[in-house]
Chain A
Amino acid sequence: MEIFVSQIMTGLSIGSILLLVALGLAIIYGVTGVINLAHGEFVMLGAYAAWFLQTQFGLGLLASLVPIFLLLALFGWLIETLVIRHLYDRPLDTILATWGIGVMAQQAIRLTAGGELRYVQMPESLSQSVNILGATDSAYRLFILFLALGLFALTWGIYRYTSFGLKLRAITQNRAVASSFGINAGRIYRSTFAYGAGMAGLAGALVSPLKSVSPEMGTTYVVDAFMVVVLGGTQSLMGTLASSGILGELSGYLAFYSNDTIAKALVLLAIVVLIRFRPQGLFTARVRA
């Protein structure tokens, strides 16, 4: 029982981090169709922002979440305006351009903050562990789990119940018709990109106490997050939620029974097979084209 619960909790913890990282990517991909390979670097920048705010201004992690979100959103907004906007008709080229941006971000950090590992302090109040059904789990991981769910709910709310979300859905379904009804698609795309980037920044800040912060940390996240998005289906936020849960539990389970590397390879293989047979993802929104 104890092992079982702790196994589930490990999976949930992996899944919640996946959800945090994938949420931004899913929004951007779902709405604009851009595969943002720089997403991992957004996550990395978020983690570095947390480190910077903590060491330079003594700001606690929780207090710095909002500034980090705003900072990364601004960054995303800039990227969209300068580069992505010109490439919406060339989807393959967006992969290349965003990758180039990622390389630049990585190198810029390496030049300014140095290539060595950085550590971010966990918030004092969340550093003890909690007992759940006999298994212990760190309070901070639980906090991430709930925060990830909270952020998901917030995004879902925006998507579902605000006029911004309505416009967003309209554009996703048919950009031309939506535009003819006076929706400014360019602006919606830009805000979406900024929001997604901000989310990535939050994800980076939140995982920074759990893992060491390095310029390369983004690359692993972007692959995992992309897998979540592919598995979940590109049009549905609920799919993203479900698939990060599934992938989290799956990799937790596989890592328990075999080693980490093989677990990763198996998950990747599963994804390849999935793309081949169900490119629209496991969960698809029913939308009239």
Chain B
Amino acid sequence: MSNQGNNRVPEQIQEKGVAVFRPELRENEELERFRVSVKNGNALARTKTEIALYAAVCLAILLVPVFLQDAFLLNKYARYLVFGMLAVSLSLSWGYAGILNLGQAMTFGIGSYCMAMMLKLKTIPVHTGADGLPDFMVWNNVTELPWFWTPFYSPLFGVLAGILLPAGVAALLGWFVFKGRVTGVYAAIITLAAMVVVQLVIIDQQAFTGGFNGITDLGQFDVAGFTFDAYGSSSYYLVAICLTVTLFLALAITKSKAGLIVQAIRDQEDRVRFFGYDVALYKIFIFSVSAAIAGLAGMLYTVVMEFASPTFLGVPLSLSVVIWVAVGGRQSLLGAMLGALIVTGVQGALSESETFLDTWTLIMGLLFVLVVLFLPQGIAGAFASLARRFERQRPAPKQAQHAEPIANGREIESTR
């Protein structure tokens, strides 16, 4: 059954290419591009360039501490990288699966809290609250460690929970939403509402979660005796390596069969469903993977920031992620990541001076509106179309024939 389904995907793409002659009917630029590149035999070559590009960027990121020893700056850059990772996770669900998750910070926050709980329990032998309880529990007259805190004594459990718990929560939410065939705007609103609920609960249950203050005064993260200092190159490397791994993992997923089906769902959900695929299952899959990455990013954020706070699950952060991804290009993992680095980097640089701090938000809002209006595919999309233009100007007249209608199609799309 699923085997039969396999053969249908190329067929579907082919049918799309053969049947549509009129450029204005070409609804899907991406698919067209794919078809053209398959025909010209350069799809594989393109994947290779993509991998080389990703590797180059990751290498550059990994080399930063060689040239930079300032602990404060390293900490700041590590923070930006964490945001980059968060952007990758959103790009996966929004750009590739078409699920606009306005609550991406929910899974980020859950991961961050898992790490914080684990690191908090580490401090207990040192700080010794009454009966070895975390300090805020003592202030709230909690007499014994709640059951869901106890397993966090094990660092392994803490790290696993920080990835698996967000994925599980997302799978549950995804099952609830996608099995009911809730899509588009409504799915976006549900993710937003779910995040606010989790945040409200965390704030409300002060005795167990630290409430508004979050969980502060943490121990340092260590693996097998090696301690990751938040203000040192070790934490930076930790974040950079995790980022590299997730970036390539995510890239592999988008190139896998499941990844292709997910993209097909984004473009023509009903058609994929008619071919017999379980659309909801694929959506839940990509939604959970995205959540797991966000959870990992959340954990790293706690390591770098040395606290966890309910603002990590807040609407502002969640919408910031959406901005980064939109600016960078939602349909490019690397673009989304660079979008996060650029926006947060510029923000960080500008907010050092008093006057820019205030105007910056204004500028960012404007920038965002302009990007949505004029660059729906973000910076990465703009670069891709530039690259295509160059490619077209080079010899290959056969290719030019194919490329022309695409440009037309895009023009129509943008003037609609």
Contact = CB atoms under 8 A, between A and B. Distances in A.
B131 interface: no
A97 B373 contact: yes
A96 B326 contact: yes
Interface in B351-389: 358-359, 361-362, 364-366, 368-369, 372-373, 376
Contact of A83 (B100, B189, B203, B369): B369
A264 B200 contact: yes
Interface stretch (B63-71, B159-167, B174-182): B174-182
B368 A96 contact: yes
6 contacts: A100-B365, A104-B362, A104-B366, A223-B193, A275-B182, A279-B182
Interface size bracket, A side: 35 or more
A219 B182 CA distance: 25
A259 B173 CA distance: 26
A108 B362 contact: yes
> Chain A binding site: helix, strand, loop or mixed by DSSP?
helix
Interface in A90-123: 90-93, 95-97, 99-104, 106-108, 110-111
> Chain B binding site: helix, strand, loop or mixed by DSSP?
helix
B379 to A, nearest CB: 16
Interface string A2-24: 00000000000000000000000
Given A97-B369, A111-B359, A103 B364 contact: yes
Contact of A269 (B189, B197, B203, B373): B197
Interface string B177-192: 1001010111011100
Nearest to B100: A92
Given A83-B373, A265-B200, A104 B365 contact: yes
B204 interface: yes
A259 B185 CA distance: 30
Given A92-B184, A261-B203, A269-B197, A97 B365 contact: no
B31 to A, nearest CB: 18
B319 interface: yes
Contacts of B366: 100, 104
A100 to B, nearest CB: 4
B362 A279 contact: no
A238 interface: no
Given A95-B102, A103-B362, A108-B362, 15 more contacts: A91-B184, A97-B368, A100-B372, A102-B365, A103-B368, A107-B358, A223-B196, A226-B189, A261-B200, A268-B193, A268-B200, A272-B190, A275-B182, A276-B180, A276-B190
Top 9 A-B pairs ranked by shortest CB distance? A104-B365, A103-B365, A100-B368, A100-B369, A261-B204, A107-B361, A265-B200, A107-B362, A97-B372
B166 to A, nearest CB: 18
A178 interface: no
Contacts of A200: none
B38 to A, nearest CB: 28
A275 B185 contact: no
A262 interface: yes
Contacts of A265: 196-197, 200-201, 204
Nearest to B370: A100
A86 B190 CA distance: 26
Contacts of A91: 184-185
Nearest to A101: B369
A164 to B, nearest CB: 26
